[in-house]
Amino acid sequence: IQRGWGVKSFSFEVREDFVYTSIAPAKPPFSKLDMFLLSRLIGLEREQIGLLKALGYSSGEVASHYAKLVILITAIGILIGYLAGSVLNVLLTRLYATFFHFPYEIFVFSGWLYAAAAVIALSSAFVGAAKSIVDSADISPAIAMRPQSPPSYRKIMPAWFDLSRVL
pLDDT for 42-86, tens place per residue?
A: 888 888 888 888 899 999 999 999 999 989 988 888 898 888 888
* 8 A C-beta contact, residue 42 and residue 66: yes
pLDDT at 26 over 50: no
Q: Give the residue, 45 or 22, on which the prediction is more confident.
A: 45
pTM for the model = 0.68
pLDDT-derived band at 110 (thresholds 50, 70, 90) equals confident
Confidence at residue 127, expressed as pLDDT on a 0 to 100 scale: 84
Alpha carbon separation from 145 to 53, 62, 93, 100, 130 (Å, rounded):
10, 15, 56, 65, 22
pLDDT the model gives residue 21: 57
Query: How much is the pLDDT for 31?
Result: 59
User: What sign does the dihedral 51-55-60-64 (CA atoms) show?
Assistant: negative
Measured distance CA(153)–CA(167) in Å, rounded: 23
